Amino acid sequence: MKNGFVKAAAASPVIRVADAEYNAERVADCIREAAAQDVRLLVFPALTLTGCSCRDLFSHRVLLDGARNALLKLLPETKGLDMLIFVGLPFAHGAKVFNTAAAIYDGEILALIPAEEPADAHFDLPEPGSCYEVTVPGYGMVPLSDSILFEHEALADLRVAVEVGADLDRFTSPAARHAEAGATVIAQMAAFPETVSSREEAELNARYESRQFRSALLLAAPGKGESTTDRAWSGLCLAAENGSILFSCEQESTFAVTEFDVEHLMTLRRAAACFDAESDYLRLSWGGELTETILTRKYRMHPHLPENPEELPAYCWRMLEMQVSGLVKRMNYAGLDHCVVGISGGVDSTLAVLVSAMAVKRMGLPSQNVIACTMPCFGTSSRTKNNAVVVAEQLGAEVRVIDISKAVLQHFDDIGHAHDDYSVAYENAQARERTQILMDISNKTNGLDVGTEDLSEFIDGWCTYNGDHTSMYDVNIGLTKTQVRANVRYLADTAEDPVLKAALYDVLDCPVTPELLPIRDDQIEQKSEEAVGSYSLQDFFTHKMLICGFTPSKTLRLAKIAYAGQFSDEELLRWLTSYCRRLFSQQFKRSCLMDGPAVEAFSVSPRDGFLIPSDAENALFLQDLESLLK
């Protein structure tokens, strides 16, 4: 349960209708299986101990007593287990019969939670918000209420509430009230039968509610043992978290396990600032010490891209549409009719010139209104230069080749910098010379200097302050490097021009390089990823640390899963440490960024994005990583 992970399971065993003793044995089997997998939260369907298709038997003394006795027989099975279990049964309190969930922990009945919406006329409604002290014969007094939160003693972010039976289908779902009161996990003990669309409908509802309530949902529906007199039953078990389905399965006897990340859910809620409202909920404690949870969930290397490859083309087109629309709006507003782009043959500048070409076309302007400037200097290879020129020419842009070597050498002489001193001034002077040229050409041609730097490079600061860092409008500012590459690949895949297609693929094959240091034999030698690490890794770190709000140590844990076999633990730790250092030390570059469209809900814009002080310390982040070495 460390790092906020809780192992949860939903179970729908094959029961016998009205045979409570047999059903209790099947429930006990599931409890033993859950204990073997270190499950801490286990949910069964509504009316598990009797079946939900008993009809008039629900109010019969024999069935009510049988269900209660079956519940009591389960208690020894749970003794000594650090597992919160929800089992369904009919329960009589005086003249009323409730469809209830029994919350069991460590051999005790913590509470009974009644359904707020009866599935049929056989059950009664509790008074809204009421809390009774009821007697369970053979056990003792327990609370009965529809407003209970089960709060874990050691993992404060784990708070569980229950929906029972037809409550799932209410116009105003109890889940909304539970989440507002603080529940991060909603146990849904369903009672619906199987239809041709029941699974699809349940998944749709789970996606919506878990996203809307920033919560985890754990659902178990009645299974194959229910009466088939008029209905069929699927045994659907489903888990969802913040809009994503973690598992959804229907089997003869269903038992499914996953891990919820309640720490992440709480981070999302703090950003929303509309949870943990004052309420009269009864709050009951459970749970033991925090232990390590073995993770079975998969974590993708590229969380900024769709999980389903079939969705990638539409996703890329939408990103491009946002880039083009933003650029067209800015040019129209400023009364400009040219785009000026510095092209290097890298993926970032290639995407910027492609977007510029799409923008001038949409504005009804000739393709020559894109002025693509390649500005070779000391580190430029013929491969990158040729790719840059070919792409621009095939787009119909005006290509200008401006060798800046003499200008930079003159600048070195002016400031007294030795020509063979390859320090930071040597590199930055080239980047700033290029920016000056692009700005001046823009002024001269009624144009807009279109920036090329992407989100990944702004986060790690791999840009020259007031050099490539600066532009008049940056179309890549909201895209990670993996998204930039995805867009270029999409445009390469869909290009009809074979020359353009080949050049774009070669751009994708080239290593990321600033090309600022002298080269030998016309080969690319200065590679960005050798200095700052894999951009795939960096984008993964950004997603987990800045978007999800995870600690560095938790991020490293998930990176080991996502990149298993690709990087050693030592390499992952080294690059994550470098990332944490650069995240803070390079903030000053992000504090004065250009305008440009964000394509995700996350950005580093100084106006509405992720903000930290330019002189904040990274000590706590590094300490969190150093703790892993002890």
Whether 222 is covered by a domain: the verdict is yes
User: Residue 336 contacts by C-beta under 8 Å, 6 or more apart in sequence?
Assistant: 446, 447, 448
Instruction: Give me the number of domains the chain comprises.
Output: 2
pLDDT of residue 381: 65
Instruction: Give the pLDDT band of residue 119 (cuts 50, 70, 90).
Output: low
- Residue 14 and residue 98 in one domain: yes
d(CA 211, CA 573): 32
- Residue 246 and residue 371 in one domain: no
Kindly tell me if the per-residue pLDDT of 523 is higher than 60.
Answer: no
Instruction: Give the pLDDT band of residue 520 (cuts 50, 70, 90).
Output: low
Whether 535 is covered by a domain: the verdict is yes
Kindly tell me if the per-residue pLDDT of 238 is higher than 60.
Answer: yes
pLDDT of residue 513: 57
Task: Determine the average pLDDT of the residues in 530-534.
Answer: 80
- Residue 250 and residue 340 in one domain: no
- pLDDT over 70, % of the chain: 95
Between 216-225, 438-447, 482-491, 619-628, the lowest mean confidence (pLDDT) is in 619-628
Whether 143 is covered by a domain: the verdict is yes
User: Residue 233 contacts by C-beta under 8 Å, 6 or more apart in sequence?
Assistant: 193, 194, 221, 222, 223, 224, 225, 226
Helices (H) and strands (E) in the chain — how many of each? 19, 20
- Residue 319 and residue 228 in one domain: no
Give the strands of the sheet with 338-342, arranged side by side.
398-401, 370-374, 338-342, 447-451, 473-474
- Residue 14 and residue 148 in one domain: yes
Whether 575 is covered by a domain: the verdict is yes
* 473-474 and 447-451 strand pairing: parallel
Phi and psi (nearest 5°) for 116?
A: -85, -20
How many residues does this entry show for the chain?
Answer: 630
**Spatial CA neighbour of 146 closest among 109, 123, 182, 175:** 175
Instruction: Give the pLDDT band of residue 532 (cuts 50, 70, 90).
Output: confident
Domain with 237, as residue range(s), is 2-286
d(CA 507, CA 452): 15
- Residue 250 and residue 318 in one domain: no
- Residue 169 and residue 109 in one domain: yes
- Are 47 and 24 in contact by the 8 Å Cβ rule? The answer is no
Which amino acid type is present at position 568?
A: S
Whether 292 is covered by a domain: the verdict is no
pLDDT of residue 411: 96
Kindly tell me if the per-residue pLDDT of 527 is higher than 80.
Answer: no
Within 10 Å of residue 353's Cβ, how many Cβ atoms? Answer: 26
Whether 277 is covered by a domain: the verdict is yes
Q: Which two tokens stand for residue 273?
A: 């600032």
Question: In degrees to the nearest 10, what's the CA dihedral of 166, 172, 175, 178?
Answer: -120
pLDDT tens-place string over residues 485-501: 999 999 999 999 999 99
Whether 56 is covered by a domain: the verdict is yes
- Residue 250 and residue 392 in one domain: no
- Are 31 and 241 in contact by the 8 Å Cβ rule? The answer is no
Which amino acid type is present at position 86?
A: F
- Residue 172 and residue 270 in one domain: yes
- Residue 274 and residue 333 in one domain: no
**Spatial CA neighbour of 286 closest among 142, 152, 113, 182:** 152
pLDDT tens-place string over residues 281-334: 999 999 999 898 999 999 999 999 999 999 999 999 999 999 999 999 999 999
What is the CATH number for 609?
A: 3.40.50.620
d(CA 440, CA 340): 10
- Residue 237 and residue 334 in one domain: no
Q: Which of 286, 317, 335 marks a domain boundary? A: 286
pLDDT of residue 215: 97
- Residue 102 and residue 160 in one domain: yes
pLDDT of residue 173: 82
Task: Determine the average pLDDT of the residues in 392-409.
Answer: 95
What is the CATH number for 88?
A: 3.60.110.10
**Where does residue 276 rank: exposed (0-12), middle (13-18), buried (19+ CB within 10 A)?**
middle
Whether 81 is covered by a domain: the verdict is yes
Say how many CA atoms lie within 13 Å of 42 toward its Cβ.
32
pLDDT of residue 515: 52
